[in-house]
Each structure stands twice: as structure tokens, then as C-alpha cells.
Amino acid sequence: MDLLVQNGLNILFSDRSGGVSSGTFSGMNLSRFVGDSAADVETNRQLLKNKLRTNVLVSSEQIHGDRILLVDDELKQDHEADGYDGLITRQKHIAIMVQLADCQGVLLHDPTTETVAAVHCGWRGNVANILGTSVRQMKIFANSKASDIHAWISPSLGPCCAEFIHYKKELPQEFWQFQTRDHYFDLWQISKWQLNEVGVPESQITLPSACTCCSEHYFSYRRAKKLGDGVTGRHCAAIMLR
């Protein structure tokens, strides 16, 4: 769980290490909604807040949709919303977090308007183009210019493991160009392309190097589904303005 500090930002992509959860959720599970001990999750979240150097953590129970929550209040305590897959704020010292187990956590920063976003983007999020929606919301909310935005994509399902047997039903035809071999797709490149399409420069997009399904350092729904009932924990992508 390494913290990246740069340009007035704290950025963190967590993995399973460092937490107190046990069994199926062993390590740093951050989700309250997967069946883990509530006390362990709260301990893990406090450890995360300590690492981020914040007293306030904002998250959401995600639904693989495209709704974006604007965090415009000066919150004094943690807040978990319901039904949002993206969070945007200009408030300093408030960390916003999305929870992940193969999906991409895409962190956005506009240094000109001092605006940040955290976006939960699985393949359904790509189909709904939540990344384009997030950039447009940053424009509306803070007058951000897409050309000023920097993006970081978390460790997530890589082209090695992103298999879609029924891709002709699940993925729009414009995604088919990103098929790397029969039924396998590069979701990282799809996200980069969608960000490019709304004006975020390619040079300002950082892609991941780790596939969460391949690496047991991360929680993975696909891996858990292959091995059993699909129950697993969640790591995170988080960002905070200092």
C-alpha cells in the first residue's frame, strides 16, 4: 500500500497487504458489503486513512452504473453514499475512494482548477462510458479543461485475463478493435481511448502494469469465481487534495 505524493496530491492504490481481515478476506479488505467482519473493515479503513493522512474518507456502494457524486461539502466525518460509481471533489484533505476487485479505479486530477475524481470502471462502466461522463462532469462542476486532466488507472483486469465469451452481446462493436486474441480484450486500452476521445492527452494517462486476476496480491472477483463462489474482498484507488 504505497502512497504517491505529488503536485499537492496524495494518490494511493492499495492491495491486500497490511490489513486485519482474515479468511476469504485476508488482508486489507475495505468493503462493508461483501460479508467481512464490520470491525475488521473499520480497522482497515482507519489504516487507509492513516496512510492517506486524512480524517475523512468518502466512498460509495457501487452498482456498475454511471452516476457521479459531487462532494461539495466540507465533511467532518466519513461518508458512504449509495449507488454512485464516481466521486468528484475540490475539497482539500478529504479522500475519495472507489473499491475494486478486477475493475479499474481511475483517478483524475485537474491541477488548474484543483479538482479530483475517483471512478469505478468495470467493463460495464466502459460500455456506459463513465470515464467520458466523469470528465464532462468535471467541466460542469469546476470548469475543468480535459486537456489539463491527468489520469491514473489502477491495477485491474488485464488483457491476459479479460475474457468475454459473449463479447458480441456484451461489448459494443467499437470495442472489438481492442481484442488481443479470440475473446480477450484490453480494457486498459479501451479506457485510454475513451479518455482520449473526450480530450485527455495520451501523455497524461498512466496505465497499470499489474493484472489483479493474475496476482494474489490483489482481490479478484474473476479468480474467486473460478475457484469457488466469487466471494472476495475489495482493495481501492483513492485520491486527496492536500
pLDDT in tens, the chain (242 residues): 778 898 899 999 999 999 999 999 999 999 999 999 999 999 999 999 999 999 999 999 999 999 999 999 889 999 999 999 999 999 999 999 999 999 999 999 999 999 999 999 999 999 999 999 999 999 999 999 999 999 999 999 999 999 999 999 999 999 999 999 999 999 999 999 999 999 999 999 999 999 999 999 999 999 999 999 999 999 999 999 99
For residue 3, the model assigns a pLDDT of 86
For residue 4, the model assigns a pLDDT of 86
For residue 7, the model assigns a pLDDT of 81
Tell me the residue ranges of DSSP E strands in the chain: 2-6, 9-13, 56-61, 68-71, 79-82, 86-89, 94-100, 104-110, 115-121, 150-153, 179-181, 184-185, 205-206, 235-241
Cβ(138)–Cβ(149) under 8 Å? yes
Extract the C-alpha cell encoding 205. 494517462
Closest CA to 28 of 4, 12, 9, 11: 12
pTM value is 0.97
DSSP classification of residue 200: -
For residue 2, the model assigns a pLDDT of 76
For residue 104, the model assigns a pLDDT of 98
How many CB atoms within 10 Å of residue 79?
17
Q: Which residues of 161-170 are buried (b: 16+ CB within 10 A; e: fewer)?
A: bbebeebeee
Instruction: Report how far residue 112's alpha carbon sits from residue 132's, in angstroms, rounded to the nearest whole number.
Output: 19
Closest CA to 162 of 116, 212, 201: 212
